[in-house]
A and B are shown apart, each in its own frame.
Chain A
Amino acid sequence: MSRLYGDPIEVWVRDGHPAQFVWRDRLYTVREIQDHWVVAREWWKTSDADPGERRFWRVGAAAGKEVGTYELRFDTASGGWLLLRAWD
């Protein structure tokens, strides 16, 4: 079962991929990148000439021993990261 969150998070990037992130005051280390994809923003709904794209990662990460699956999103226009989803 996955749950939706959409919480802003802080992420450290290495080689173009997330390596560590802080979510709800805990530091997670990315162990594995399971999937990565990109979605262009629906520019015609905004007034920006180029609203950029959103980059998604599904990663295996752990704050302690237990590895969970998390989905992270990076918005190129705002430069902000969200934690979208987590699987228990």
Chain B
Amino acid sequence: MTRPFTHLHVASAFSLRYGTAFPAALVRRAAEHGMDTLALTDRDGLYGAIKHVIACHEQGIRPVVGVDLALDKGSSTPDDLFGDGLPSGRRAAPRHHTGHGTGHRTGHGRGTAAEPARVVVLARSHGWAALCRLVTAAHHAGERGEPRVTPGMVAEHATGPDGEPLLTVLLGPRSGFGRAAAERRDDQARALLAAWRAVVPDLVVEVCDLYGYRDANTAARMIGLAESMGVPVVPTNAVRYLDAADHQVGNVLDAARKLVPLDGRHLDDATAHAYLKDGAEMARVAARICGGDLDRAGRLLAETRRVADQCALDPVEIVPLLEPEHPRLHLPEAGEDPVPLLRRRCEEGLARRGLERSAEARDRLAAELGVIEKKRLSGYFTSVAGITDMIRAMGVRCAIRGSGAGSLVNYLIGIGEVNPLEHGLLMERFLSEGRKGLPDIDVDVESARRLDCYRAILDRFGEDRVACVSMMETYRARSAIRDVGAAMGLPPHEIDVIAKAFPQVRARQIRAALSDLPELRDSGLNDRSLQTVFRLAERLDGLPRHIALHPCGVLIGNSTLRDRTPVERSLLEFPMSQFDKDDVEEAGLLKLDVLGVRMQSALAYALQEIERVENRKIDLDAVPRDDRETYDMIRLSRTIGCFQIESPGQRELVAKLEPRTMHDLIVDISLFRPGPVNSDMVTPYLETRHGFREPRYPHESLRDALRETNGVVVFHEQVMKVIDIMTGSGLSEADRARRALGTPEGRAAVRAWFVPLATENGYAPDVVERAWKVLDAFGGFGFCKAHAAAFALPTYQSAWLKRHHTAAFLAGVLTHDPGMYPSRVILDEARRCGVGVLPLDVNRSGKTWLVERTGPAGDGLGGYGLRVPLSAVRGVSEAEVDRMVAGRPYTSLADFWERARPSRPVAERIVEVGGLDALHGLRPGEPRWRPGRLTRRDLIAQVGALDRGSPAGAAGQLPMAFTERVTPGELPEMSEAEAVEAELEILGMDVSRHVMDFYQDLLDALGVTRARDLLGQRNGAEILVAGVKVATQTPAVRSGQRVIFTTLDDSTGPIDLTFFESVQAHTAATVFGSWLLAARGVVRRTGGRAVSLRAVHCWNLADLDRVWRAEGLDAVRAVIVETPAPGAGVGGRPIEYGNGFRVSPYSDNGAPPAARGERLPGLSGEPQRRLWHASSGSSGPSPDR
């Protein structure tokens, strides 16, 4: 029995826009073929290497890892031997005899001059570090995203210090040698082979026959040349598909990668044969290559075995966590022994936090240190503490998040500000003896300073020891449609319309979405001509397309980090590991998550504004956390702008829950999650909280653990405590059980373990059953209390600032945009809070939103205004803003033009929205403009004159007097509506008046109910409402429906509307497609001060307005009493979780889509900016189609 064949050249999906199969699938197939070794040689990087090694380990296959690298064209050799270096004219003509049919296609990629020559470099058994370093060097040498090597670079890494070979180089059909052989330039081919052999000791020629025209011929020539020079030869299949059927996807990827339409000329493979063939097929290929000479074919296959044996890697060496007992971690070096260092710092922390005398704290500390030292993680904690100290010393706000808040050590050494003892947080949720893997400390910093923090960390540890973590962006519906559409040659604008019509769903849901969603069903996209596009787009689902910096992960390693992971440069020039966050952990590398949080920036900005305007310094972390006025504001759900509690759903929940303490906020944040909502924790919790029902406990012994939430299980920590109390197994084991609750199999296993243990401990069967029901319903959901406690702090702090320093807080929110609402909603909120909105003014506006005092000094509430910043003007550059701010004050438009040097369109836009009104005493809209008075339009005309008067580059060529001369009143002033229209268009918000002001007459005529009057409506009443759309969301809800939640703003307050699936057939397109909405709904009282509407029907308010103007009120009435035609609702099978939780496949996921605005009455043009929040699960088709 001969030993099985080994594929030595295999590209997975991690060869971006080239490969089509994931490593695990390839490995599984190899195992099915009875293979015992498999290589992964992705293009340009080791992105899939860890996943490959893990998959191989699971299947009992030996992993080989390599990389497929492009050669630098201007390679160091003077005669250009190595690069593709072929005189291009020699290739075209002689290769095909005639142009007949599609039979003889030229250069299907392997020979085209446009593509660089490539070689495959395999790590030999001890060559992993050399391979990592070679890949890093290749990325360093090439352009970003286009790594290049020279033979010199490969040679440098190919041998160890004693000359032992570490890398094996394969020269295949795409190498310079292979191309020369194919072109019958034998002398050049021999010279290339000799040159490589001179620098690389372990050199192998790779031949390949994909049944393409002349493939076998070329392979035979390569074998002849190699044998004549004594270089070993191996056959490969240059695999890029799992099955032959993936060929079409490969074609699309080739076109997408090269940015060309599909055409035979651009494809890398003319045949569908580059799939993972089994041993028998490969034996046939080998025989074919050898012209039927079976001895020779046998020699080739034996050679393949030899290379495979030499290159087989030890999985555990590369992925230490495959050995969970004693993984070899790669910890940062500390200057001194980290164990006593950490102990000393904790001791100091006890004193600083006033916990020296607390026995509880000492016991807890001893237990935590025991685990940390046993896992040899002391150095990690001291390193992280060093980093957070450094970040705070830079003046950057920094807060701990996640389970790390449960560790007392983190509190004592100043990584976090949450005392775990105060909130009953558990260390075991974060780090425990039994837990596989590494602890993950997450810190939040100001988003605007995140990269500064990264730079500081790099400087401190040195580039060799630190790298950012990367992540793969994958194809989703929109990106897949864009790439397939382009490959198929659809016009770009058409592709854009089609792609934007889709919500942010997975690519494989495309055709399902077309038939399920009412707003797509009638869109005309179901056209047969688009079927191929959609079919292929679905096939791209989930394939990696782009590598990007992970939003927070930073690897902290030691001087061997570059031996463990290849590193490339991110877009912003940060060193970035090619491994994602899972790979990094498996590889035994420690990471710290430094997440940029906009709210932290907003808070920092607010504090800075308070200091600037009031001359008062506030220590936000020292503010008492029991301020009554702050909680009163939260309970009235006046929380727009506040961290975590501003969404419509949260505003409803806080109104019902009425938080009075930090603990209440922690519960509130934990309850507002899909898990608690689905396992119905909210209602029982609220009932017992308000005393409608007695708290119930499955057993007296659980009272302590569950008291804080009145017997309802809300937190992960409580599940752990319940399991620990009833089984006596310890919290560490309990956490392991809790994790297993996430899957049905896990739940069955936990039950089989839990029930007998609890019974043994003397619990009655019915008690055990009751307790198990609670755990079972909890499933893998619920929330980590440590995480909620860490979140609750900025939530409270933001609410406190909003209550006591409203103007400064909202200035921070407007400047850093931390929340879900667009600026115009925040401005409305400011007006409702009594804070003025001050128009753009070149002499007063700054780079960011500034607080101005508009009245006598007060207690921080009255007498303040927010000044629209210059950066809000559409299209303005940062340099322009800097010049404008630096040049203040200005004496006239001409002066402004001269010194601030804005571009003409920017200057015009500034005039249009009134940036020079104050300077020139203009008052559009106020007492009507009279002839002879200067107008904004006059000034715009003057901008034109100034522009013509100043040829680019020259300064001051025309006398001021000339351009200064404006004939006042030559052009009419803008109307109020035009002014607001311009504001929406240019600033993205209505500053001078509320948009709805223009519809008040129509609303009055129709008898529309205003937001401020909603509380007076009786439950069940059917009323009309109208307003500007502020937000649409399609969150996961218990019923498994896709429910659309929409918030309207009619200038008197928010109106929350719910569209259930039963009405979406006739409303979805309008809800997603319009900006101004009128709706009919049924009043639903949800709490003392909470009202929402169940929508029955809705219309585009702008359309109604047009009808009203053209045909009168009766015509409008006729439209709104019309009974909608019955239609189907939303289709699609809900995604069902193990514990019975059902979610619509179209509920929220991913980033917000682009949205379209509406027009003001009687005006053309439309606002282009983001005017409302739209969650990504929804979007709707563009009305254009």
Pair A54/B102 contact, Cβ less than 8 Å: yes
How far, in Å, is B99 (CB) from chain A's closest CB? 11
Contact of B215 with A by CB under 8 A: yes
Contact of B97 with A by CB under 8 A: yes
Pair A38/B103 contact, Cβ less than 8 Å: no
Pair A40/B272 contact, Cβ less than 8 Å: yes
How far, in Å, is B260 (CB) from chain A's closest CB? 13
Q: How far, in angstroms, from A85 to B99 measured CA to CA in the complex?
A: 12
Pair A35/B217 contact, Cβ less than 8 Å: yes
Q: How far, in angstroms, from A84 to B100 measured CA to CA in the complex?
A: 9
Inside 8 A of B264's CB, which chain A residues have their CB?
42
Q: How far, in angstroms, from A50 to B247 measured CA to CA in the complex?
A: 10
Inside 8 A of B215's CB, which chain A residues have their CB?
37
Please provide the chain B residues from 754 to 782 with a CB less than 8 Å away from any CB of chain A in the complex: none
Contact of B211 with A by CB under 8 A: yes
Q: Which of A39, A47, A49, A50 contacts B103 (CB 8 A)?
A: A39
How far, in Å, is A55 (CB) from chain B's closest CB? 8
Contact of B804 with A by CB under 8 A: no
Inside 8 A of B251's CB, which chain A residues have their CB?
43-44
Please provide the chain B residues from 467 to 489 with a CB less than 8 Å away from any CB of chain A in the complex: 487-488
Q: How far, in angstroms, from A38 to B273 measured CA to CA in the complex?
A: 9
Given contacts A44-B262, A49-B535, contact A37 B214 (CB under 8 A): yes
Inside 8 A of A4's CB, which chain B residues have their CB?
98, 100
Q: Which of A39, A44, A84, A85 contacts B270 (CB 8 A)?
A: A39
Inside 8 A of B216's CB, which chain A residues have their CB?
35-37
Pair A41/B102 contact, Cβ less than 8 Å: yes
Pair B102/A42 contact, Cβ less than 8 Å: yes
Pair B212/A38 contact, Cβ less than 8 Å: yes
Inside 8 A of A78's CB, which chain B residues have their CB?
none
Q: How far, in angstroms, from A85 to B632 measured CA to CA in the complex?
A: 90
Inside 8 A of B214's CB, which chain A residues have their CB?
35, 37
Q: How far, in angstroms, from A87 to B532 measured CA to CA in the complex?
A: 41
Q: How far, in angstroms, from A75 to B963 measured CA to CA in the complex?
A: 77
Q: How far, in angstroms, from A43 to B487 measured CA to CA in the complex?
A: 12
Given contacts A44-B251, A49-B535, contact A38 B211 (CB under 8 A): yes
How far, in Å, is A50 (CB) from chain B's closest CB? 7
Inside 8 A of A40's CB, which chain B residues have their CB?
247, 269-272
Contact of B530 with A by CB under 8 A: no
* Count of chain B residues with a beta carbon within 8 Å of a chain A beta carbon: 29
Q: How far, in angstroms, from A44 to B264 measured CA to CA in the complex?
A: 10
Interface string of A59-78 (1 = CB under 8 A from B): 00000000000010100000
Pair B488/A44 contact, Cβ less than 8 Å: yes
Contact of B743 with A by CB under 8 A: no
Pair B103/A56 contact, Cβ less than 8 Å: yes
Q: How far, in angstroms, from A54 to B270 measured CA to CA in the complex?
A: 11
How far, in Å, is B1138 (CB) from chain A's closest CB? 36
Q: Which of A37, A44, A49, A84 contacts B212 (CB 8 A)?
A: A37
Interface string of B226-251 (1 = CB under 8 A from A): 00000000000000000001011001
Inside 8 A of B100's CB, which chain A residues have their CB?
4, 84-85
Q: Which residue of B lies closest to A82 (CB)?
A: B101
Q: How far, in angstroms, from A38 to B97 measured CA to CA in the complex?
A: 16
Inside 8 A of A35's CB, which chain B residues have their CB?
214, 216-217
Contact of B890 with A by CB under 8 A: no
Inside 8 A of A43's CB, which chain B residues have their CB?
248, 251
Q: Which residue of A lies closest to B248 (CB)?
A: A43
Interface string of A17-47 (1 = CB under 8 A from B): 0000000000000000001111111111001
Q: How far, in angstroms, from A37 to B488 measured CA to CA in the complex?
A: 26
How far, in Å, is B241 (CB) from chain A's closest CB? 12
Inside 8 A of A73's CB, which chain B residues have their CB?
101, 103
A2, A42, A47: most-surrounded residue (chain B CB, <10 A): A42
Interface string of B485-513 (1 = CB under 8 A from A): 00110000000000000000000000000
Q: Which of A44, A53, A84 contacts B101 (CB 8 A)?
A: A84
How far, in Å, is A85 (CB) from chain B's closest CB? 7
Inside 8 A of B258's CB, which chain A residues have their CB?
none
How far, in Å, is A49 (CB) from chain B's closest CB? 7
Q: How far, in angstroms, from A40 to B269 measured CA to CA in the complex?
A: 9
Inside 8 A of A56's CB, which chain B residues have their CB?
103, 213
A2, A35, A37, A56: most-surrounded residue (chain B CB, <10 A): A37
Pair B271/A53 contact, Cβ less than 8 Å: yes
How far, in Å, is B490 (CB) from chain A's closest CB? 11
Q: How far, in angstroms, from A35 to B216 measured CA to CA in the complex?
A: 8
Given contacts A44-B262, A84-B101, contact A36 B211 (CB under 8 A): yes
Q: How far, in angstroms, from A50 to B539 measured CA to CA in the complex?
A: 14
Q: Which residue of B lies closest to A34 (CB)?
A: B217
Pair B211/A54 contact, Cβ less than 8 Å: no
How far, in Å, is A30 (CB) from chain B's closest CB? 15
Contact of B1084 with A by CB under 8 A: no
How far, in Å, is A86 (CB) from chain B's closest CB? 13
Q: Which residue of B lies closest to A44 (CB)?
A: B262
Q: How far, in angstroms, from A43 to B247 measured CA to CA in the complex?
A: 10
Q: How far, in angstroms, from A71 to B97 measured CA to CA in the complex?
A: 12
Q: How far, in angstroms, from A4 to B262 measured CA to CA in the complex?
A: 28
Please provide the chain B residues from 94 to 114 with a CB less than 8 Å away from any CB of chain A in the complex: 97-98, 100-103, 105
Q: Which residue of A lies closest to B533 (CB)?
A: A44
Q: Which residue of A lies closest to B284 (CB)?
A: A16
Q: Which residue of B lies closest to A71 (CB)?
A: B103
Q: Which residue of B lies closest to A48 (CB)?
A: B532
Q: How far, in angstroms, from A2 to B103 measured CA to CA in the complex?
A: 15
Inside 8 A of B105's CB, which chain A residues have their CB?
39
How far, in Å, is A83 (CB) from chain B's closest CB? 12
Q: How far, in angstroms, from A75 to B97 measured CA to CA in the complex?
A: 21
Q: Which residue of A lies closest to B536 (CB)?
A: A44
Q: Which residue of B lies closest to A55 (CB)?
A: B211
Please provide the chain B residues from 77 to 107 with a CB less than 8 Å away from any CB of chain A in the complex: 97-98, 100-103, 105
How far, in Å, is B363 (CB) from chain A's closest CB? 68
Please provide the chain B residues from 523 to 544 with a CB less than 8 Å away from any CB of chain A in the complex: 532, 535
Q: How far, in angstroms, from A40 to B409 measured CA to CA in the complex?
A: 64
Inside 8 A of A47's CB, which chain B residues have their CB?
532
Inside 8 A of A36's CB, which chain B residues have their CB?
211, 216
Q: How far, in angstroms, from A82 to B125 measured CA to CA in the complex?
A: 52
How far, in Å, is B177 (CB) from chain A's closest CB? 22
How far, in Å, is B182 (CB) from chain A's closest CB? 14
Given contacts A39-B271, A40-B272, contact A84 B103 (CB under 8 A): yes
Inside 8 A of B487's CB, which chain A residues have their CB?
44
How far, in Å, is B249 (CB) from chain A's closest CB? 11
Pair B248/A2 contact, Cβ less than 8 Å: no
Q: How far, in angstroms, from A4 to B103 measured CA to CA in the complex?
A: 13
Please provide the chain B residues from 249 to 282 with a CB less than 8 Å away from any CB of chain A in the complex: 251, 262, 264, 269-273
Q: How far, in angstroms, from A49 to B533 measured CA to CA in the complex?
A: 11
How far, in Å, is A70 (CB) from chain B's closest CB? 14
Inside 8 A of A42's CB, which chain B residues have their CB?
102, 262, 264
Please provide the chain B residues from 208 to 226 with a CB less than 8 Å away from any CB of chain A in the complex: 211-217
Pair B272/A37 contact, Cβ less than 8 Å: no
Q: Which residue of B lies closest to A33 (CB)?
A: B292
How far, in Å, is A78 (CB) from chain B's closest CB? 14
How far, in Å, is A52 (CB) from chain B's closest CB? 9
How far, in Å, is B38 (CB) from chain A's closest CB? 25
Q: Which residue of B lies closest to A43 (CB)?
A: B248
Pair B272/A53 contact, Cβ less than 8 Å: yes
Q: Which residue of A lies closest to B292 (CB)?
A: A33
Q: How far, in angstroms, from A2 to B97 measured CA to CA in the complex?
A: 9
Q: Which 5 A-B pairs have the closest CB atoms?
A: A38-B211, A38-B271, A37-B213, A44-B262, A40-B272
**Can you list 10 contacts pairing A with B, beta carbon distance less than 8 Å?**
A36-B216, A37-B211, A38-B272, A40-B247, A41-B102, A42-B264, A44-B488, A53-B272, A85-B98, A85-B100
**Given A39-B105, A56-B103, 17 additional A-B pairs, CB 8 A:** A4-B98, A35-B214, A35-B217, A37-B215, A38-B272, A38-B273, A39-B102, A39-B213, A40-B269, A42-B102, A44-B251, A44-B488, A53-B271, A53-B272, A73-B101, A84-B101, A85-B98
Binding site for B on A (CB under 8 A): 2, 4, 35-44, 47, 49-50, 53-54, 56, 71, 73, 84-85
